[in-house]
C-alpha cells in the first residue's frame, strides 16, 4: 500500500472520529461563579474545513445557534434548572461535537399544577427531570393535613401503580374514586447532588359531570319550547276573541235594517 493511500486513509479515520461525537477534538470547561454558569467548548483544530457556526442543545432542544467561524463557543446558563447534559456542536456537524455535564440537585418539572379526571376513569400524574446526575430514586406522597404525608407504593390490587425511569416517574390511578383520590400529590426525586419536589393537585369530578353540558342544552330547548307553546296559545285566544267581536256587529246591523223594513211596511199598510 503506497504512502499517499495511507495518508488518505488516516484523514478519513480522523474525520470519522470527529463526527462520532466523542468530543476528543474539543476541550470543554464549566465555570460556576455565584449565580453565573458559563459553558465553553474549544475546538483544537478544524479537521473537516472552516467552521460555519455553532449550536448548543439540551435534551434535544436548541438553546443557541450562531454563524461565527470561531474555534471557541460559549453558552451562559440562565435557567433555574442549570444541571443537566448539554451538547456543543461545531457546524457543519462533521467539525466536532462534545457533551458538557453540569452537576446539580434535580429540578422537577410537571406539565400542569392541577389535573382533572372523572370518577371511574384512569388518571396519570407525571413528573420528569433532565438534571445531571440522573435521578437515582423517585418517591410519591399524598399530602395529609391532619397527619404526616402518606407515602404511596404499588397497590397489590393494581388500583395504584408507580412506573419510574431516571428521566421521569408516573403515578397511575385506575378507577378514580371521588372521595379517596382528590388531593395534593408530591413527587420527590433524588440524585447524588440533592433532591427536588413538585406538587400536583388532583380533582375528581362526578360521573354526571360529563353530562352536565348536554343536560343544560336539553333544559334550554325545553324552556324555549314551553315559551313558544304559551305564546302560540295566547295568540290563538286573542284571535278567537277578535273573530267573535267582528261577527256580532253584522248581526246588529241586520236587526236594525229588519226593524226599519218592518216599520216601512207598517207605514205603507196604514196609508
CATH architecture of 3-102: Sandwich (2.60)
pLDDT at 3 over 50: no
Judge residue 234's burial from the number of C-beta atoms within 10 Å of its C-beta, 0-12 exposed, 13-18 middle, 19 or more buried. Answer: exposed
Collapse the DSSP code of 29 into the 3-class scheme (helix H, G, I; strand E, B; otherwise coil) and give the result: strand
> What would the mean pLDDT of 31-36 be, rounded to a whole number?
85
The domain spans of the chain are: 3-102, 114-205, 213-242
Pairing of strands 150-152, 84-91: unpaired
Q: Rounded distance, CA 60 to CA 82, Å?
A: 15
Q: Do 189 and 105 meet the contact criterion of CB atoms below 8 Å apart?
A: no
On average, the pLDDT of the chain sits at 82
pLDDT at 79 over 80: no
Task: Label residue 116 by pLDDT band (50, 70, 90).
Answer: very high
> What would the mean pLDDT of 182-196 be, rounded to a whole number?
96
Q: Rounded distance, CA 151 to CA 139, Å?
A: 8
Higher pLDDT, 183 or 23: 183
Task: Label residue 114 by pLDDT band (50, 70, 90).
Answer: very high
114-205 belongs to CATH 2.60.40.10: yes
Lowest model confidence (mean pLDDT) among 1-10, 79-88, 150-159: 1-10
pLDDT in tens, 248-270: 545 445 554 455 555 555 555 55
3-102 and 114-205 agree in CATH topology? yes
- Closest to 63 (Cα-Cα) out of 49, 36, 34, 84: 84
- Sequence-separated (6 or more) residues with CB below 8 Å from residue 60: none
Q: What does the DSSP assignment read for 223-265? A: HHHHHHHHHHHHHHHHHHHHHHHHHHHHHHHHHHHHHHHHHHH
pLDDT in tens, 122-176: 999 999 998 999 999 999 999 988 888 999 999 878 889 999 999 999 999 999 9
Amino acid at each position: 500500500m503506497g504512502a499517499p493511500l495511507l495518508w488518505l486513509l488516516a484523514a478519513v479515520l480522523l474525520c470519522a472520529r470527529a463526527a462520532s461525537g466523542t468530543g476528543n477534538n474539543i476541550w470543554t470547561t464549566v465555570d460556576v461563579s455565584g449565580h453565573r454558569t458559563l459553558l465553553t467548548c474549544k475546538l483544537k483544530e478544524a479537521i473537516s474545513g472552516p467552521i460555519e457556526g455553532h449550536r448548543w442543545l439540551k435534551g434535544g432542544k436548541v438553546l443557541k445557534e450562531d454563524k461565527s467561524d470561531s474555534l471557541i463557543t460559549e453558552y451562559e446558563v440562565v435557567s433555574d434548572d442549570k444541571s443537566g447534559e448539554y451538547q456543543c456542536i461545531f457546524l457543519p456537524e462533521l467539525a466536532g461535537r462534545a457533551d458538557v455535564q453540569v452537576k446539580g440537585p434535580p429540578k422537577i418539572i410537571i406539565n400542569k399544577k392541577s389535573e382533572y379526571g372523572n370518577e371511574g376513569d384512569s388518571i396519570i400524574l407525571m413528573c420528569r427531570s433532565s438534571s445531571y446526575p440522573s435521578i437515582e430514586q423517585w418517591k410519591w406522597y399524598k399530602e395529609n393535613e391532619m397527619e404526616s404525608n402518606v407515602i404511596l407504593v404499588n397497590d397489590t390490587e393494581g388500583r395504584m401503580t408507580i412506573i419510574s425511569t431516571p428521566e421521569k416517574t408516573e403515578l397511575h390511578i385506575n378507577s378514580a374514586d371521588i372521595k379517596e383520590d382528590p388531593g395534593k400529590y408530591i413527587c420527590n426525586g433524588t440524585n447524588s447532588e440533592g433532591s427536588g419536589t413538585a406538587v400536583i393537585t388532583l380533582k375528581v369530578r362526578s360521573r354526571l359531570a360529563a353530562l352536565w353540558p348536554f343536560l343544560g342544552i336539553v333544559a334550554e330547548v325545553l324552556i324555549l319550547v314551553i315559551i313558544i307553546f304559551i305564546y302560540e296559545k295566547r295568540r290563538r285566544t286573542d284571535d278567537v276573541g277578535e273573530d267573535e267581536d267582528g261577527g256580532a256587529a253584522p248581526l246588529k246591523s241586520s236587526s236594525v235594517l229588519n226593524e226599519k223594513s218592518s216599520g216601512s211596511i207598517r207605514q205603507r199598510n196604514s196609508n
